[in-house]
């Protein structure tokens, strides 16, 4: 095996998804602790504790204790190089979350043991299912009172339509939480607080046949555990690695990220079961990650990550070959050769310049304004384009204007740059330029984020007026006479940033009317290719 092949096969790139407050960011930071990337986890627990999560770089995230944009983190663990895509978990997450999942080879789903599967988990799972990527489940917060573990697994299967297989099994919960049973090696990892402080635990591993196990457990916990072991072995789903890698079965682990219990065993199981970087489809067929010809695609753009420099970063997923600082590549959408000189790997707002990266890695490249989401980079001698990244339909709309008309230039620049990142979508009247701007978002919190960023990054204060539109549909027809369309009175024809025509509807009735009265009209719920 060549050194290049070995490096690629030791890479893992995954996204962490969850409902708000399930413990996703805490779990991410514990991974980084094990990898030695950070010395102490920063947590937001009320105003008294002003430390912020290391994966949150935006000031609004630090103030409110939430993640509103996806973060890209990398660390090494047991000879593996792991790339984590930490997605927002709040209810009003953005389209940025959807697109980040397009750059992942697998996903870690974090579920609150007391709440089970929640709305946000369902939405994110659908995106994973669309790509058939493996999902690894960590049922968190066992140090608090929790639902019955059988009930939790049945809920995952019923709600998400994926088979589950317990890799380990909890012994009690809350004050009676005594640890987990590892099924493969038949060992019990015992949970015990250190000096009564439940954020630190001592993991004591013992064989299940060890007589001292009985003494560690309370009341009838030992008998319940033995019954559970027999039931899981006899009636539980059989572990199937092929199903896992096809996204048809999810291995389930239990633990507590806050107390640092069960995190390292879960990480080790993930590395054992997950796959190295997977092939990506292009217009010339699948691109093998083990090919030594460099290729990558842009899945995220973020402006002003460093407030002192007002910079703009394009995040790229390397899909094949080796990246070397200063290398010359071909930018397919720009139809020209460029040099990749300023390359970074990031940990929140800390940056480290890198000279080399491999298939599966995520890197940030300084963007002078030439990149868009979905762009393809290749070696000059082998040109192709990856499949475009979908643009999902926004669900909330508003018109915006700047309060100070003398700052129009900053206003247009700010709105355009933030839209190019993908956090919002902006629309204008047909042929109207930027005179009237309509904003569409997946979650309403993005309106607040937009106003905050325009004020703090561009010194522009805006007025936001909510609109009654609920649906957007792109027009697929080319050369269609849009003025001749028979539409309901509350339907609006607009253009997106790339000049593509689309319709805004207030209700489903308006969509039905447009399709019934205009038989030649072809509408689609999302733009299939934005490159």
Binding residue ranges for GTP: 18-25, 86-90, 140-143
Tell me the C-alpha distance between 146 and 175, whole Å: 11
Helix axes of 149-160 and 119-131: crossing angle, nearest 10 degrees: 60
Q: Which residue has the tokens 């939480």?
A: 177
Which stretch of DSSP H or E encloses residue 190? strand 187-194
Dihedral of alpha carbons 70, 72, 77, 81, sign: positive
Q: State both tokens at 128.
A: 């994973």
List the one residue out of 128, 138, 192, 114 whose CA is nearest residue 160. 128
Question: What 3-state class would DSSP assign to 497?
Answer: coil
Neighbour-count burial of 485, counting CB atoms closer than 10 A to its CB (0-12 exposed, 13-18 middle, 19+ buried): middle
Contact 319, 294 (CB under 8 A): no
Tell me the C-alpha distance between 292 and 278, whole Å: 14
CA end-to-end span of the chain: 36
C-alpha gyration radius of the chain: 25
Question: What 3-state class would DSSP assign to 506?
Answer: coil
Contact 188, 213 (CB under 8 A): yes
Give binding residues as ranges.
18-25, 86-90, 140-143
DSSP string, 472-489: EEEE--SS--GGG----T
Determine what percent of the chain falls in helix, strand and coil, rounding each to the nearest 5: 25, 35, 40
β-strands 106-112, 322-324 pairing: unpaired
Sheet strands side by side (includes 523-524): 462-466, 396-402, 437-441, 425-429, 492-495, 501-505, 471-475, 523-524
Tell me the C-alpha distance between 141 and 254, whole Å: 8
Contacts of residue 145, defined as CB under 8 A and 6 or more positions apart, other chains included, come to: 114, 173, 174
Q: State both tokens at 34.
A: 């094990």
Helix axes of 95-102 and 119-131: crossing angle, nearest 10 degrees: 40
DSSP string, 325-354: TTEEEEETTTTEEEEE--EEEEETTEEEE-
Helix axes of 24-34 and 263-273: crossing angle, nearest 10 degrees: 80
């Amino acid at each position: 095996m060549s050194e290049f092949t070995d490096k690629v096969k030791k890479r893992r790139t995954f996204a962490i998804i969850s409902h708000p407050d399930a413990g996703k960011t805490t779990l991410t930071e514990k991974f980084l602790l094990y990898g030695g990337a950070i010395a102490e986890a920063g947590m937001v627990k009320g105003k008294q504790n002003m430390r912020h999560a290391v994966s949150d770089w935006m000031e609004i995230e630090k103030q409110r204790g939430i993640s509103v944009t996806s973060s890209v983190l990398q660390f090494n663990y047991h000879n593996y190089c792991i790339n984590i895509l930490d997605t927002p978990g709040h209810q009003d997450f953005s389209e940025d979350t959807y697109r980040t999942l397009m750059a992942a080879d697998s996903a870690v789903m974090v579920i609150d043991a007391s709440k089970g599967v929640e709305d946000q988990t369902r939405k994110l799972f659908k995106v994973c299912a669309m790509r058939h990527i493996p999902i690894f489940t960590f049922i968190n917060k066992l140090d608090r009172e929790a639902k019955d573990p059988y009930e939790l697994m049945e809920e995952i299967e019923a709600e998400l339509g994926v088979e589950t297989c317990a890799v380990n099994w909890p012994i009690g919960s809350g004050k009676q939480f005594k640890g987990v049973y590892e099924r493969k090696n038949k060992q019990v990892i015992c949970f015990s607080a250190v000096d009564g402080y439940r954020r630190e635990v001592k993991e004591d591993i013992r064989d299940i046949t060890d007589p001292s196990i009985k003494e560690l457990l309370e009341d009838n916990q030992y008998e319940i555990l033995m019954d559970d072991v027999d039931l899981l072995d006899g009636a539980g789903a059989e572990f199937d690695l092929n199903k896992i890698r096809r996204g048809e079965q999810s291995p389930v682990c239990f633990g507590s990220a806050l107390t640092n219990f069960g995190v390292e065993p879960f990480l080790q199981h993930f590395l054992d079961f997950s796959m190295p970087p997977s092939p990506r489809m292009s217009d010339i067929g699948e691109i093998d990650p083990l090919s030594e010809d460099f290729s990558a695609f842009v899945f995220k753009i973020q402006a002003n990550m460093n407030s002192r420099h007002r910079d703009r970063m394009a995040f790229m997923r390397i899909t094949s070959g080796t990246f070397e600082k200063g290398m010359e590549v071909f930018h397919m959408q720009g139809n020209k050769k460029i040099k990749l000189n300023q390359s970074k790997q990031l940990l929140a707002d800390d940056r480290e310049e890198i000279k080399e990266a491999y298939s599966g890695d995520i890197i940030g490249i300084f963007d002078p304004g030439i990149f868009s989401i979905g762009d393809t980079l290749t070696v000059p001698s082998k040109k192709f384009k990856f499949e475009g990244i979908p643009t999902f339909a926004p669900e909330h709309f508003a018109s915006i204007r700047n309060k100070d008309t003398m700052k129009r230039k900053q206003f247009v620049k700010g709105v355009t740059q933030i839209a190019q990142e993908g956090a919002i979508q902006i629309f204008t009247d047909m042929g109207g330029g930027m005179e009237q701007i309509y904003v569409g978002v997946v979650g309403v919190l993005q309106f607040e984020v937009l106003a905050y960023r325009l004020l703090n990054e561009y010194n522009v204060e805006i007025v936001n007026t909510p609109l009654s539109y609920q649906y957007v549909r792109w027009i697929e027809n080319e050369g269609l006479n849009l003025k001749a369309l028979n539409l309901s009175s509350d339907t609006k024809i607009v253009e997106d940033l790339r000049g593509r025509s689309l319709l805004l509807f207030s209700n489903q009735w308006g969509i039905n009317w447009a399709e019934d009265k205009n038989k030649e009209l072809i509408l689609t719920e999302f733009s299939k290719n934005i490159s």
